[in-house]
Amino acid sequence: MSEPILRVENLKKWFPVKRSIRQVLSGERTQVKAVDGISFDVQKGEIFGLVGESGCGKTTTGKLIMKLLDSTDGKMYMEGEDVTGISGDALAAHRRKVQMIFQDPYASMNPRFKILDVLMEPLVIHGVGETSQERETWAIKALEEVKLTPPDEFLSRHPHMLSGGQRQRAATARTLMLSPSIIVADEPVSMIDLSTRAEILHMMRQVQRELGLTYIYITHDLSTARYFTDRLAVMYLGRIVEMGVAGEVIDNTLHPYSKALIAAVCEPVSGRVNRIKEVPIKGEIPAATNIPQGCRFHPRCVYATQACWEQPEPELFDAGNGHMVACRRYEEILEKGDAAKTSEAEF
């Protein structure tokens, strides 16, 4: 395997929580362990997906990659270079290489800026381009790239005059302005009408192929993840519990959490709309300040045994063909699952 474009090693982000006087005096420390030691590689030209429910740390991971947050521990390598603690010029260089598409296309562009200003901003910040005419031609090119045509008509508009889909296209165009190598897309279609989602993802994919980009696609939506990503990592409570080729992870799920996640996907198929599936999971996601002992999924896992919380936390290991999983008992659970099958109940 060639040198990964991005390598993350045991990355951690803990947020301190405001303490009461008693806690300060007793030296008690509480921390939200948003990201609690994750490692993965992203190859050049691939679309890497990060999936998980709200609060699992996937957005924090995205922000760590963007260097919008500083990591508490761990290392991050960009094209072989350590970018964990960079600042100044190195940080500016990093920001030219890594761009981000935000979840909310309504909020990610300054409402006072015209689309032209939005697109020119990265160029102005990094001092790219000699004249405003030159920058404008690049902006037009980027708009053509994301199929916002005719570009001239959109350049003079304000973001609020665009539809959600058009805005997300414009936001994508902005990320392309500096010809980056990695684009972190944080739920880029979750706020867009279902009808336009596929279109946007298709456009993003096309752009990625044409320009040879690498995407890190953050989502809670497994169906788009399956369609869009090459490789997938499932996160739970700040850790990756399963990682592998997208089709493999979804069709051949190993970890009980991933299974629950997949089972939770709605299927608006006639005859099944009125049924709610019994999802093989129990309870609520625990607070990230108080991570359970042993396997952090055990309180919610329907297959959990005493060993799960008495043994130390399982690490990701290869279960064959590069399909990684962080569950020691996955084979045993697979058999049980086959016997019980996911049952369905009438709503």
Partner 1 sequence: MKRKDSSQLRAFWNEFRRVKFGTVGLALFAVFVLIVLFEPLLMPYPDANDRWRDMTYWLDSPRNAKPVWVNWFTSKDYAVADTIEPTSVTESQVGSLRMVMMEFEYDFHYQRPPADLQLVTTLTGNASIQMELIRPDGASLNYQRATSSSGTRDIRVSVAQNLQDKVFRLASAYADPDVIASENPETIDAMATMFAAAEPNMLRATNPLEGTYICKLTVALTSADSRVDDAMLVIAGGVAGWMGTDASKRDIWSGLIAGTKWALLIGLVTSFVSVAIGVVYGVVAGYFGGWVDSMMNRIFEVFLSMPLLPILIVMGAVFKPSIWTMIIMMCLFFWVGPVKTVRSMALQIKENTYIEAAKALGASHGRIVFKHLLPQLVPYAFATMALSVPSAIVYEASISLIGLGDATVVTWGQILQDAYASGAVLQGTWWWVVPPGLAIALMGMTFAFIGFAMDTILNPKLRTR
What distance, in Å, lies between the first and last C-alpha atoms of the chain?
Answer: 49
Out of 9, 53, 73, 121, the residue judged to bind partner 1 by CB under 8 A: 121
Smaller CB separation from partner 1, 180 or 314: 180
Q: What residues between 254 and 293 interact with partner 1 by CB under 8 A?
A: none
Query: What does each C-alpha distance from 223 to 60, 183, 200 come to in angstroms?
Result: 22, 20, 14
Smaller CB separation from partner 1, 92 or 266: 92
Binding string, 7-46, against partner 1, x = CB under 8 A?
----------------------------------------
Q: What residues between 48 and 107 interact with partner 1 by CB under 8 A?
A: 66, 68, 91-92, 95-96, 99-100, 102-104, 107
Segment interacting with partner 1 (CB under 8 A) among 75-83, 153-161, 245-253, 256-264: 153-161
Distance between CA atoms of 214 and 65, rounded to whole angstroms? 13
Going by C-alpha positions, the residue among 214, 209, 141, 210 that lies closest to residue 177 is 141
Segment interacting with partner 1 (CB under 8 A) among 77-85, 121-129, 207-215, 249-257: 121-129
Paired tokens of 116: 């032209």
Binding string, 215-254, against partner 1, x = CB under 8 A?
----------------------------------------
Quick one: three-class SS letters along 274-316? Answer: CEEECCCCCCCCCCCCCCCCCCCCCCCCCCCCHHHHHCCCCCC
Distance between CA atoms of 191 and 255, rounded to whole angstroms? 28
Smaller CB separation from partner 1, 131 or 343: 131
Would you say 180 and 98 are in contact if contact means Cβ atoms under 8 Å apart?
A: yes
Out of 49, 57, 74, 122, the residue judged to bind partner 1 by CB under 8 A: 122
Smaller CB separation from partner 1, 107 or 287: 107
Distance between CA atoms of 244 and 164, rounded to whole angstroms? 32
Out of 27, 80, 88, 111, the residue judged to bind partner 1 by CB under 8 A: 111
Count the Cβ atoms, other than its own, within 10 Å of residue 145.
18
Q: How far apart are CB 86 and partner 1 at their closest, in Å?
A: 12
Q: How far apart are CB 257 and partner 1 at their closest, in Å?
A: 29
Q: How far apart are CB 114 and partner 1 at their closest, in Å?
A: 9
135 contacts: CB under 8 Å, gap ≥ 6: 120, 123, 124, 128, 129
161 belongs to the binding site for partner 1 (CB under 8 A): yes
Sheet-wide strand order for 98-101: 98-101, 182-186, 214-219, 47-51, 231-236, 239-245, 324-325, 317-318
Would you say 187 and 171 are in contact if contact means Cβ atoms under 8 Å apart?
A: no
Smaller CB separation from partner 1, 111 or 283: 111
Q: How far apart are CB 200 and partner 1 at their closest, in Å?
A: 17
Rg of the chain over all Cα atoms, to the nearest angstrom: 22
Would you say 101 and 186 are in contact if contact means Cβ atoms under 8 Å apart?
A: yes
Q: What residues between 171 and 200 interact with partner 1 by CB under 8 A?
A: 174
Smaller CB separation from partner 1, 77 or 113: 113
Going by C-alpha positions, the residue among 186, 224, 223 that lies closest to residue 202 is 224
Residues forming the site for partner 1 (CB under 8 A): 66, 68, 91-92, 95-96, 99-100, 102-104, 107-112, 121-122, 125-126, 132, 157-158, 160-161, 174
